[in-house]
Amino acid sequence: MQADANPSRAGSHLDANLERLLDPIRHELRPGAQERAKLEQVENEIKSRLRKTVPADVEIGLVGSTAKGTALRGNHELDIFILMPKSWPLEEMQAKGLAWAKKAMRGVKTELNYAQHPYLKAYIDGVKADLVPSYKLANFEHLGSAVDRSQLHTIWVNARLNDEGRDDVRLLKAFFKAQGVYGAQTRVEGFSGYLCELLIINYGGFASCLRAMQAWKMPHALDPAHHHPEGAILKHFPNTPLVVVDPVDSNRNVAAVVSRTSMARAILAARSFMENPHRSFFFKEKEVHSPAKLRQIIRERGTHTLVLFMPAPPLVEDVLWPQLRKSAQSMVGLLERAEFRVFGHYFWSDNERAVILFEFMDKELPAVRRAAGPQVWLEKDVNAFLARHKKAHNLHVEHERVVAVARRECRTPKELLENAMKKPQKTGIPAPFVRAMKKRKWGVATDLLADEGLREVASDYFSRRL
């Protein structure tokens, strides 16, 4: 086929094809009338209940994706803020707000949760509602607690998004969700809903956002409200792969939680989509293989595995996952320093149990290890080295260095980790996981296959694909 001589015509042709793909997807992602009516009914019921318990000078406001009209279909969640005067002390504001919420929700299933401060989660007619004590703010300069920004986010976004923009936010959310990078939870380390809204506002739409993302490099910075001088953003927010300055708080990076891995996945996915747009980029389901298929995959890899099973410590999810990640990384560091060749590792929890999987190039190390010492003219260092290795199989000189060949204390990964857990405070593993590991059990990758939830873990690790 002959190339189009007019670039603008060629571009418009590509855009038209893309829009033909995206239009029905926008419709699929948009909450239907029945769903919106149900959410509105629950919202009104909660507000009515709260209105009977809170004083007249306390406002009740809806914030979050439902208030901004950017919620995905099937996302039956509400964020309702109890907005109190800034003159109230912080502890008084939190305590009174929680007390009013609990009184208002009598007879309803609730649970107490914690973010920056406590809030009440209520479940009504299939809808999950967060009732959050907060200050009523005019701008971020009067910020009293971190959650206060949410009301300002809602105002800022609603002033800049029309219905077309809201549809494009849903597209971006679904796109990121299918790639496993949607959500600011520490479990995901991905793109929050508010970050998706800012990206669409900044770039002007879904397609233009993905075009821009293809060219992202780390670090990358955006300042939608132009708070900082050009070139100064990365100095203000160092050591982070992605910076998106919060329009309502110039000192906050909305993308602070986004990991390098999540950002890299997003860049590759944007590039792949723009090269070959397809609806599967929005509706990809996790593939869970059969036990027989997984056994075959594991066997054909030819590596060796070790799996640590333990109960999950009683921590909220946003504390549990960073500590689980640190535990896994500490153990990998310990293994690598002992010369085990770690091919890969994976960690997972469902808040009741936790799993750390290690994959190794070798099942067992040699009975001896080689330790290279200092140069022979460094007398003090040489003497100290010789004292440390006086039980070595042999001591000799290679070129200008003293070398020891010593017996290896632990030849298998399990031996090393068991030995390390005798003094767990020296391993870098957080205390809650040290306690959890007292009830540890060891296994191999095929031990994951009998349980459907753990089979998903094995499928995700052993058959990951871009």
- The pLDDT of residue 141 is 59
Q: What's the average model confidence in pLDDT over 338-348?
A: 96
- The pLDDT of residue 233 is 92
- The pLDDT of residue 14 is 56
Q: What's the average model confidence in pLDDT over 162-170?
A: 96
Q: Residue ranges of the alpha helices (H) in 276-404?
A: 291-301, 317-337, 379-388
What percentage of the chain carries pLDDT values higher than 90?
Answer: 74
Domains of the chain by start residue, with CATH? 33-158 (3.30.460.10), 161-281 (1.10.1410.30), 291-364+410-462 (3.30.70.590), 368-407 (no CATH)
The 10s digit of each residue's pLDDT in 224-236 is 999 999 889 999 9
Q: Show Cβ contacts of residue 442 under 8 Å, excluding neighbours closer than 6 positions.
A: 306, 307, 308, 309, 414
- The pLDDT of residue 118 is 84
More confident residue, 389 or 354: 354
pLDDT of 347 > 60? The answer is yes
The 10s digit of each residue's pLDDT in 123-140 is 999 999 999 998 888 666
Question: Would you say 458 and 448 are in contact if contact means Cβ atoms under 8 Å apart?
Answer: yes
The 10s digit of each residue's pLDDT in 67-106 is 999 999 999 999 999 999 888 888 888 899 999 999 999 9
Question: Would you say 262 and 191 are in contact if contact means Cβ atoms under 8 Å apart?
Answer: yes
Nearest-angstrom CA–CA distance, 69 and 438:
48
Averaged pLDDT of the chain: 90
- The pLDDT of residue 2 is 33
The 10s digit of each residue's pLDDT in 260-305 is 999 999 999 999 999 999 999 999 877 889 999 999 999 999 999 9
- The pLDDT of residue 137 is 81
The 10s digit of each residue's pLDDT in 405-463 is 988 889 999 999 999 998 877 889 999 999 999 999 999 999 999 888 899 999 999 98
Nearest-angstrom CA–CA distance, 16 and 327:
49
- Residue 272, judged by CB atoms within 10 A of its CB (0-12, 13-18, 19+), counts as middle
